């Protein structure tokens, strides 16, 4: 079963590894997936966070990027509810 919300944890990955993991999740995201939560962490720096937000802001599957209350996460909104 596919949920409307999925996560991908990219802690400890390089930018290239993170993009591969996120792109794989996006390829597998079907009609029922509305949000992809990226867990990039916060205390180890902001390189991954900034790279994700910059790289996916114009991605064709991503409608918008939401910043949550947790600074270690970024939500890629794929569909509006």
Q: What is the pLDDT of residue 1?
A: 45
**Rounded-to-integer distance, Cα 14 and Cα 47, Å:** 9
Please state the domain extents for the chain. Answer: 5-77
Those residues of the chain that have pLDDT short of 50 are 1-2
Q: How far apart are the first and last CA of the chain?
A: 19
Q: What is the pLDDT of residue 8?
A: 96
Q: Classify domain 5-77 at the CATH topology level.
A: Ribosomal Protein S8; Chain: A, domain 1 (3.30.1370)
**Rounded-to-integer distance, Cα 59 and Cα 20, Å:** 14
Partners of 65 in the β-ladder: 76
Q: What is the pLDDT of residues 31-47, one digit of tens each?
A: 788 999 999 988 776 89
Q: What stretch of H or E contains 49?
A: helix 47-56
């Amino acid at each position: 079963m596919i949920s409307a919300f999925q996560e991908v944890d990219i802690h400890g990955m390089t930018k290239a590894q993170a993009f591969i993991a996120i792109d794989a999740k996006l390829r597998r995201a079907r009609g029922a997936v509305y949000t992809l939560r990226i867990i990039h962490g916060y205390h180890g720096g902001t390189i991954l966070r900034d790279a994700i937000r910059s790289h996916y802001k114009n991605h064709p599957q991503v409608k918008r990027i939401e910043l949550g209350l947790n600074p270690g996460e970024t939500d890629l909104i794929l569909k509006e509810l």
